[in-house]
Amino acid sequence: MDIEFVRSRFIKHFDGTTGSVYASPGRINLIGEHTDYNGGFVFPGAVDKGMIAEIKPNGKDKVCAYSIDLKDYVEFGLNEEDAPKASWARYIFGVCREMIKRGVDVKGFNTAFAGDVPLGAGMSSSAALESTYAFALNDLFGDNKIDKFELAKVGQATEHNYCGVKCGIMDQFASVFGKEGSLIRLDCRSLEYQYFPFKPEGYRLVLVDSVVKHELASSAYNKRRQSCENVVAAIKKTHPEVEFLRDCNMEMLNAVKGEVSEEDYMRAEYVIEEIQRVLDVCDALEKGDYETVGQKMYETHHGMSKLYEVSCEELDFLNDIAFDCGVTGSRVMGGGFGGCTINLVKNELYETFITTAKERFKEKFGRSPKVYDVVISDGSRKLC
């Protein structure tokens, strides 16, 4: 990401002066998918790709926002009824509103932004955008009095209230809290977290992007969440203490098998198993046992494909290629319905895997997947 590039566009687009520049990253997730809104564990890390925004208060009551990548300009006011139509601008508007709800006296500003997190790749470009503005508005208008967790929640609430996605906290948390070289295990119920330095000797993490974007991803995502809540409601009848699927085991799930739909049962089975897998992976990492880490990643893929049903033909195909090439671990990453696989691969297998994946994918689908090497990086920050 290039500050000079964003700055030159900001200067050109507005009155020739400069403002302050902020950045926030996208994220990967080693394991723990669709566990965050179930009160479970996730294991993300921030990446070296993200969003950069230049911002300067303009002394007016409105925000003048320019998306450099889309070459689109939008102005909007700061009241609830001023929501812009353009979906990219709704993220910025939502963040302004959520900061105002938390007592920050947000005033009008000029802003231009650009990013290098691939859109729709499951690397949370939207969380990167939300975290950039939440961090910036806290600095420019809030005396930095909002703490980092609340900044992550501002992004999450923006998704819920202004973008129609009932997401969990993982993406915004990783974007705000990221730390170079470390993955972070977050307990999404207690919000306790722990940094795990991640430098697997002899292995590397690589993302293979199917470049598939699912049109109905947000409604399908919300539907998965609803299934989990249906199962919790059924279990609660005999176990009133249960708050999330995190609090349930297979025995409790089986006891309500006749009361919930087959589909809801499968969704809950996946989540219960996935929460356990994150803990197993943490143990394995502590022992340097990457074979187990990898095996759990394959299990996650299987669960996401067959039980949670958030994979697709292209991602299943990439997962099969990884397995055939002897890649240690591979799975669909993020919400699913398209996007990337994350692969834990031995250094000596890297070239063969990437070449084979590109060739075989192109043969079958007529286009090449994209490949991104993972560099685990810092979270939200002010650049200048």
- Per CB under 6 A, residues contacting ligand GLA are 33-34, 36-37, 124, 167-168, 170-171, 334-335
Nearer to ligand GLA, 167 or 234 (CB): 167
Quote the CA–CA distance of 257 and 248 in Å, as a whole number: 13
Token readout for 159 is 């998704």
Nearest-approach distance from CB 183 to ligand GLA, in angstroms: 14
Quote the CA–CA distance of 149 and 161 in Å, as a whole number: 18
Q: In 10 A of CB 175, how many CB atoms?
A: 34
Answer yes or no: are the C-beta atoms of 90 and 181 closer than 8 Å.
no
Nearer to ligand GLA, 208 or 310 (CB): 310
Quote the CA–CA distance of 52 and 3 in Å, as a whole number: 7
Nearest-approach distance from CB 97 to ligand GLA, in angstroms: 19
Q: In 10 A of CB 198, how many CB atoms?
A: 17
Answer yes or no: are the C-beta atoms of 291 and 279 closer than 8 Å.
no
Nearer to ligand GLA, 96 or 271 (CB): 271
Nearer to ligand GLA, 114 or 123 (CB): 123
Quote the CA–CA distance of 48 and 291 in Å, as a whole number: 26
Cβ within 8 Å of residue 81, ≥6 positions away: none
Nearest-approach distance from CB 188 to ligand GLA, in angstroms: 9
Nearer to ligand GLA, 11 or 165 (CB): 165
Quote the CA–CA distance of 93 and 116 in Å, as a whole number: 21
DSSP string across 289-354: -HHHHHHHHHHHHHHHHHTS----HHHHHHHHHHHHTT-SEEEE-TT-SEEEEEEEEEGGGHHHHH
Q: Residue 319 — φ and ψ, nearest 5°?
A: -65, -40
Buried b (16+ CB within 10 A) or exposed e, 271-289: bbbbbbbbbbbbebbeeee
Nearer to ligand GLA, 164 or 326 (CB): 164
Give the sign of the dihedral formed by CA 328, CA 334, CA 335, CA 338.
Answer: negative
Nearer to ligand GLA, 55 or 232 (CB): 232
Nearer to ligand GLA, 30 or 68 (CB): 30
Tell me, rounded to whole angstroms, the distance of Cα 301 from its chain centroid: 17
Catalytic residues: 171
Tell me how far CA of residue 123 lies from CA of 101, 119, 277, 347, 367, in angstroms: 28, 8, 21, 23, 21
> Would you say how long the chain is, in residues?
384
Nearest-approach distance from CB 350 to ligand GLA, in angstroms: 26
